[in-house]
Chain A
Amino acid sequence: MTELPEFHELTLPNGFSYKQPTGLFINNKFVPSIKKETIDTIDPSNGEKICSVYAASEEDVDVAVKAAKDAFKTTWRHTSGSDRGRLLVKLSELCERDTDKLAAIEAIDSGKPFEQNAKGDIGELYNVLRYYGGWADKVHGQTIPVDDNKLAYTVHEPYGVCGQIIPWNYPLCMLSWKIGPALAAGNTIVLKSAEQTPLSALYLCNLVVEAGFPAGVVNIISGLGPVAGSALSTHPLVSKIAFTGSTAVGQIIQKAASSNMKAVTLETGGKSPLVIFEDANLEQAVKWAAFGIFFNSGQVCTSNSRVLIQEPIYMKFIEKLKECIDSDYKQGLPFGDDTVMVGPQVSKQQQDRILKYIEIGKKEGAKVFTGGYKVTDDEVLAKGYFVKPTIFYDVTPEMTIFKEEIFGPVVSCIPFKTEEEAIELANDTLYGLAAALFSKDITRAHKVARELEAGMVWINSSNDSDFRVPFGGVKMSGIGRELGEYGLTNYTQTKAYHVNLGWDL
Chain B
Amino acid sequence: MLASSLRFKKPALFNPVLYVARFYSHLPLSVPIKLPNGIVYEQPTGLFINNEFVPSRQSKTFEVISPSTEEEITHVYEAREDDVDIAVEAAKKAFNSTWKTADPAERGKVLYKLANLIEKNAETLAGIESLDNGKSLFCARGDVALSANYIRSCAGWADKIYGRLIETGSSHFSYSRREPLGVCGQIIPWNFPLLMWSWKIGPALATGNTIVLKPAEATPLSALYVSQLVKEAGIPAGVVNILPGYGKIVGERISRHPNIKKIAFTGSTATGRHIMKAAAESNLKKVTLELGGKSPNIVFADADIEKAVSNIIMGIFYNSGEVCCAGSRVYVQDTVYDKVVQAFKESSEKLKVGNPFDESTFQGAQTSQVQLEKILSYVDIGKKEGAKLVTGGERIGEKGFFIKPTIFADVKEDMRIVKEEIFGPIVTVSKFSTVDELIEMANDSEYGLAAGIHTIDINKAIDVSNRLTAGTVWINTYNDFHQNVPFGGFNQSGIGREMGAEALDNYTQVKAVRIKIDPKQV
Interface residues of A (CB under 8 A from B): 81-82, 85-86, 89, 127, 130-131, 133-138, 140, 148, 151, 442-443, 446-447, 450, 468, 485, 499-502
B153 touches A502 (CB 8 A): no
A130 touches B162 (CB 8 A): no
A-B contact pairs, 12 of them (CB 8 A): A81-B484, A82-B149, A89-B152, A133-B156, A134-B160, A137-B156, A138-B153, A140-B484, A443-B517, A443-B519, A446-B517, A502-B459
Closest Cβ neighbor of A443 among chain B residues: B517
**Cβ of A99 to closest chain B Cβ, rounded Å:** 14
Q: Mark B463-495, 1 if CB is under 8 A from A, else 0.
A: 100100000000000000001100000000000
Closest Cβ neighbor of B173 among chain A residues: A446
What residues of chain A lie closer than 8 Å to B515, measured between beta carbons? 442, 446
Task: Tell me if B109 is interfacial: C-beta within 8 Å of chain A.
Answer: yes
B458 touches A502 (CB 8 A): no
What residues of chain A lie closer than 8 Å to B462, measured between beta carbons? 151, 499, 501
What residues of chain B lie closer than 8 Å to A443, measured between beta carbons? 516-519
Number of A-B contacts (CB under 8 A): 71
B108 touches which of A81, A134, A138 (Cβ 8 Å): A134
* Sample of 6 further A-B pairs with CB below 8 A, known A131-B105, A500-B459: A85-B152, A85-B156, A443-B519, A446-B515, A468-B159, A502-B463
A450 to B155 CA separation, bound complex (whole angstroms): 34
- With A130-B112, A443-B517 in contact, do A135 and B466 touch (Cβ < 8 Å)? no
B518 touches A137 (CB 8 A): no
Closest Cβ neighbor of A501 among chain B residues: B459
Task: Tell me if B170 is interfacial: C-beta within 8 Å of chain A.
Answer: yes
- With A151-B462, A501-B462 in contact, do A89 and B112 touch (Cβ < 8 Å)? yes
Task: Tell me if B157 is interfacial: C-beta within 8 Å of chain A.
Answer: yes
A135 touches B518 (CB 8 A): no
Closest Cβ neighbor of B113 among chain A residues: A93
B157 touches which of A138, A140, A500 (Cβ 8 Å): A138
**Cβ of B71 to closest chain A Cβ, rounded Å:** 39
Main secondary structure of the interface of A (DSSP, over half): helix
Q: Mark B150-174, 1 if CB is under 8 A from A, else 0.
A: 0011011111101000000010010
**Cβ of A148 to closest chain B Cβ, rounded Å:** 7
Interface centre among B108, B157, B483, B501 (most CB of A within 10 A): B108
A133 to B156 CA separation, bound complex (whole angstroms): 7
- With A130-B109, A443-B516 in contact, do A137 and B160 touch (Cβ < 8 Å)? no
- With A86-B152, A442-B515 in contact, do A138 and B484 touch (Cβ < 8 Å)? yes
A138 touches B458 (CB 8 A): no
B152 touches A138 (CB 8 A): no
A138 touches B173 (CB 8 A): no
Interface residues of B in 440-475 (CB under 8 A from A): 458-459, 462-463, 466
What residues of chain A lie closer than 8 Å to B152, measured between beta carbons? 82, 85-86, 89
**Cβ of A176 to closest chain B Cβ, rounded Å:** 14
A335 to B515 CA separation, bound complex (whole angstroms): 47
A130 to B105 CA separation, bound complex (whole angstroms): 9
Closest Cβ neighbor of B158 among chain A residues: A134
- With A86-B152, A151-B462, A443-B518 in contact, do A137 and B159 touch (Cβ < 8 Å)? no
B518 touches A447 (CB 8 A): yes
What residues of chain B lie closer than 8 Å to A446, measured between beta carbons? 173, 515, 517
Closest Cβ neighbor of A127 among chain B residues: B105
A131 touches B517 (CB 8 A): no
A134 touches B155 (CB 8 A): yes
Closest Cβ neighbor of A126 among chain B residues: B109
A5 to B155 CA separation, bound complex (whole angstroms): 42
**Cβ of B502 to closest chain A Cβ, rounded Å:** 11
**Cβ of B171 to closest chain A Cβ, rounded Å:** 10
**Cβ of A142 to closest chain B Cβ, rounded Å:** 12
A329 to B155 CA separation, bound complex (whole angstroms): 38
B162 touches which of A82, A136, A485, A499 (Cβ 8 Å): A485
A82 touches B517 (CB 8 A): no
What residues of chain B lie closer than 8 Å to A485, measured between beta carbons? 160, 162
What residues of chain B lie closer than 8 Å to A140, measured between beta carbons? 484, 501
B483 touches A82 (CB 8 A): yes
What residues of chain A lie closer than 8 Å to B158, measured between beta carbons? 134
A127 to B105 CA separation, bound complex (whole angstroms): 8
What residues of chain B lie closer than 8 Å to A502, measured between beta carbons? 459, 463
Interface residues of B in 75-119 (CB under 8 A from A): 105, 108-109, 112
A85 to B108 CA separation, bound complex (whole angstroms): 13
Interface centre among B153, B156, B158, B519 (most CB of A within 10 A): B156
**Cβ of A279 to closest chain B Cβ, rounded Å:** 16
Closest Cβ neighbor of A448 among chain B residues: B517
What residues of chain A lie closer than 8 Å to B159, measured between beta carbons? 131, 134, 468
A82 touches B153 (CB 8 A): yes
**Cβ of A147 to closest chain B Cβ, rounded Å:** 11
A485 to B159 CA separation, bound complex (whole angstroms): 11
**Cβ of A302 to closest chain B Cβ, rounded Å:** 21
What residues of chain B lie closer than 8 Å to A499, measured between beta carbons? 458, 462
A135 touches B459 (CB 8 A): no
A446 to B459 CA separation, bound complex (whole angstroms): 52
- With A501-B459, A502-B459 in contact, do A447 and B517 touch (Cβ < 8 Å)? yes
What residues of chain B lie closer than 8 Å to A135, measured between beta carbons? 156, 160
B153 touches A137 (CB 8 A): yes
What residues of chain A lie closer than 8 Å to B483, measured between beta carbons? 82, 137
Closest Cβ neighbor of A88 among chain B residues: B156
A501 to B160 CA separation, bound complex (whole angstroms): 36
**Cβ of B306 to closest chain A Cβ, rounded Å:** 26
Interface residues of B in 186-245 (CB under 8 A from A): none
- With A148-B466, A151-B462 in contact, do A138 and B156 touch (Cβ < 8 Å)? yes
A127 to B108 CA separation, bound complex (whole angstroms): 11
A446 to B169 CA separation, bound complex (whole angstroms): 12
A133 to B116 CA separation, bound complex (whole angstroms): 14
A127 to B463 CA separation, bound complex (whole angstroms): 45
A79 to B382 CA separation, bound complex (whole angstroms): 47
A442 to B516 CA separation, bound complex (whole angstroms): 9
Closest Cβ neighbor of A85 among chain B residues: B156
**Cβ of A460 to closest chain B Cβ, rounded Å:** 15
A131 to B152 CA separation, bound complex (whole angstroms): 12
**Cβ of A173 to closest chain B Cβ, rounded Å:** 16
**Cβ of B407 to closest chain A Cβ, rounded Å:** 33
Q: Mark B496-522, 1 if CB is under 8 A from A, else 0.
A: 000001000000000000011111000
9 nearest interchain CB pairs?
A134-B156, A446-B517, A501-B459, A446-B173, A447-B517, A151-B462, A443-B517, A137-B484, A501-B462
What residues of chain B lie closer than 8 Å to A500, measured between beta carbons? 459
What residues of chain A lie closer than 8 Å to B112, measured between beta carbons? 89, 130
- With A442-B515, A446-B515 in contact, do A138 and B160 touch (Cβ < 8 Å)? yes
Q: Mark B378-420, 1 if CB is under 8 A from A, else 0.
A: 0000000000000000000000000000000000000000000
A46 to B266 CA separation, bound complex (whole angstroms): 66
